[in-house]
Amino acid sequence: MAEPISILIVEDEVLIGKHLAICLEDEGYRVHGIVSSFEEATTQLKKELPSLVLLDINLGGLLDGIDLAGELRHQYQVPFIFITSNTDARTVSRAKLTEPAGFIVKPFQANDLRPSIEIALHRHQQQAAPIRENEQHSFFIKERHEMKRLYYAEIDYVEAADNYSIIHTPEHKHILSQTLKSMETKLVPFGFLRVHRSFLVNVSKINCVRPTEVIIGEKAVPISANSRSELMKFIRTL
């Protein structure tokens, strides 16, 4: 059984916060919590992320709901809907910059909530799908004291070096503690081809095919006779 959608309420007016909670529970949602400030909200978010946040723009303290919206979007990737009585041009302009999933104006009706929430969640799922797909087309590599994401599409070719692989991109070389065979298993489904016992190339990066080599950027990568035949078949299917 799927867990109920959890919603965090960020509202500095106690009665409105409680009213929202009752409306949400009546609709079958789980209330993740009711908080009244930027600081309380971030504390709650660090403990557990909700499915969505209903967010008042006016909050007690120096930082308001629009400041919190920026955190939700960039740090937590949680969708949010503004609920506010502030509809002046300046406030709306600031709010739009955070790209909210919805905007409900006070006073609101209880039946305004479900359509706005469902649309917001659907839109968030649609936007997140390409991100999840791109993450599957990448891996992390260690550079000094950092772990950096490298997308398959960035790779020109991979070169064998004993039990290591050297990944060549247009700007850098990265040494990975994996064999070329291991890299081949990972990359072949994404448009890479083994053209030599020591080289695996990103076919989309090839500029020219010669009898004994392929050109990628300014680099000539050797290619065996058997692999050249396979490459030509591959190219003809593109």
Answer whether residue 67 shows pLDDT above 80: yes
- Convert the pLDDT of each residue in 190-203 to its tens digit: 889 999 999 999 98
Instruction: Provide CB contacts within 8 A for 190, sequence distance 6+.
Output: 137, 152
Answer whether residue 30 shows pLDDT above 90: yes
E strands in the chain? 6-10, 30-35, 52-55, 80-84, 102-105, 138-143, 146-151, 157-161, 164-168, 173-176, 192-196, 199-202, 206-209, 213-216, 219-222
Angle at 84 between CA 81 and CA 88, to 5 degrees: 115
Task: Kindly indicate the confidence band of residue 161, based on its pLDDT and cuts at 50, 70 and 90.
Answer: very high
Does this model's pTM top 0.85? My answer is: no
- Convert the pLDDT of each residue in 127-146 to its tens digit: 665 545 555 688 888 777 77
Task: Kindly indicate the confidence band of residue 50, based on its pLDDT and cuts at 50, 70 and 90.
Answer: very high
Share of the chain above pLDDT 90, in %: 37
Domain ranges of the chain: 6-135, 146-237
Which CATH fold would you assign to the domain 6-135?
A: Rossmann fold (3.40.50)
> What average pLDDT is seen over the chain?
86
Which CATH number applies to 146-237?
2.40.50.1020
- Convert the pLDDT of each residue in 94-135 to its tens digit: 888 888 988 888 888 888 888 889 888 877 776 665 545 555
Mean local confidence (pLDDT), 76-94: 85
E strands in 36-145? 52-55, 80-84, 102-105, 138-143
Task: Kindly indicate the confidence band of residue 238, based on its pLDDT and cuts at 50, 70 and 90.
Answer: low
The lowest-confidence range among 1-5, 93-97, 119-123, 186-190 is: 1-5
